[in-house]
Amino acid sequence: MKTGIVIFAHNSRKVDYSLMSLISGGLAKKHLKISVSLITDQSTVEWINKSQSMQKFNNVFENIILTDRPSAENYRNLNDGELVDNVPFVNGNRSSVWHLTPYDKTLLIDSDYFIFSERLKPYIESDHDIMISSAMNDLGENRAGTLDKYVSDTGPNLYWATNVIFKKNKNSKIFFDLVDFIKDNYYYYAELFRFYPKPYRNDIAFSIAKHILDGFSLDLEGSLPPISTTIDRDILVEVSDKGRLKFLMNQGSDYVAMSIENTDIHVMNKQSIIRHKESLLELI
């Protein structure tokens, strides 16, 4: 059984997802010691070529798989600390991973998820058709609200599609086909589960699919560990050569300093990743 990691990256005018996937893929490969493949589109590859970094991509990724670029109708506000910008999110094709992955067992990670430990290894080796994180672990203090835990005030548990592990088989195909169906009928499910339908969120589509396939109940079996997360209002301020990441954590109107090392981390402030690209790339 061939096991590997898959990352999606579709660049937008404002965010260089391909660069983030290079960092994310390099770190995952280094710490989990398994192959990584990139799923991207022609225009993103053209940008990689234009930026003369294809050699780095070839060093990190076992395969660079081309697919159609999803539509960029999905906009949301993205903070960079206290600055805010309305940016396109080109991420509507995550459910196609079942068809596109070259692996029998796949760890799907977001391009802003950085693996600095072996924590996911036992989960990759465990025997489940599909595994997904059932919670996020806010690295700040007391900031997680209801909508970080549930799809809506009255909806089911929110799972985090930042990490998904699946075996390529009939059961996981049913799951990803259902995610695709929910995406196609997102407004209907928004009415049904009472969540706001804009922008489209993979986390919500995955959560509803899991809720349905678990028999409309909460089943935490097959849960991956909580996603340790810094939000987009937090600012990455320094990356040491030993891999220690220092942040300013937004606590309401104030900022608190925090550092972290040897811990897998979801960095939602994408621009602060880009600002530290050199030091992050040196860690891979």
**Rounded Cα distance, 156 and 278, in Å:** 41
Q: Judged by CB under 8 A, which of 222, 227, 243, 280 binds other proteins?
A: 222
Using CB under 8 A, which residues numbered 148 to 167 contact other proteins? none
Q: Judged by CB under 8 A, which of 76, 121, 275, 277 binds other proteins?
A: 121
Specify the residue for token string 């589109």.
41
Per CB under 8 A, does 139 bind other proteins? yes
Per CB under 8 A, does 123 bind other proteins? yes
Helices (H) and strands (E) in the chain, counts: 10, 16
**Rounded Cα distance, 224 and 138, in Å:** 15
Q: Judged by CB under 8 A, which of 126, 169, 171, 185 binds other proteins?
A: 126
Label the pairing between strands 265-267 and 113-114.
antiparallel
Structure tokens at 196: 């706001």
Q: Judged by CB under 8 A, which of 12, 96, 137, 279 binds other proteins?
A: 137
Residue with smaller CB distance to other proteins, 47 or 123 = 123
Using CB under 8 A, which residues numbered 229 to 258 contact other proteins? 244, 246, 249, 251, 256-258
Q: Judged by CB under 8 A, which of 30, 56, 69, 119 binds other proteins?
A: 119
Which residue stretch of 134-142, 162-170, 203-211, 272-280 sits at the interface with other proteins (rule: CB under 8 A)? 134-142
Give the amino acid at 204. Answer: I
Helix 186-193 × helix 170-184 angle, to 10°:
90
Using CB under 8 A, which residues numbered 57 to 76 contact other proteins? none
Residue with smaller CB distance to other proteins, 49 or 240 = 240
Answer whether 268's CB lies under 8 Å from 231's CB: yes
Which residue stretch of 19-27, 92-100, 107-115, 120-128 sits at the interface with other proteins (rule: CB under 8 A)? 120-128
Structure tokens at 259: 């550092």
**Rounded Cα distance, 175 and 172, in Å:** 5
Closest distance between other proteins and the C-beta of residue 173, in Å?
Answer: 21
**Rounded Cα distance, 151 and 158, in Å:** 5
Q: Judged by CB under 8 A, which of 140, 174, 276, 281 binds other proteins?
A: 140
Closest distance between other proteins and the C-beta of residue 224, in Å?
Answer: 10
Task: Count residues near other proteins (CB under 8 A).
Answer: 29
**Rounded Cα distance, 135 and 125, in Å:** 21
**Rounded Cα distance, 6 and 85, in Å:** 28
**Rounded Cα distance, 55 and 119, in Å:** 29
Q: Report which DSSP code applies to 260.
A: E
Closest distance between other proteins and the C-beta of residue 265, in Å?
Answer: 10
Residue ranges that bind other proteins, judged by CB under 8 A: 117, 119, 121-123, 125-127, 137, 139-141, 220-222, 225, 228, 244, 246, 249, 251, 256-260, 262-264
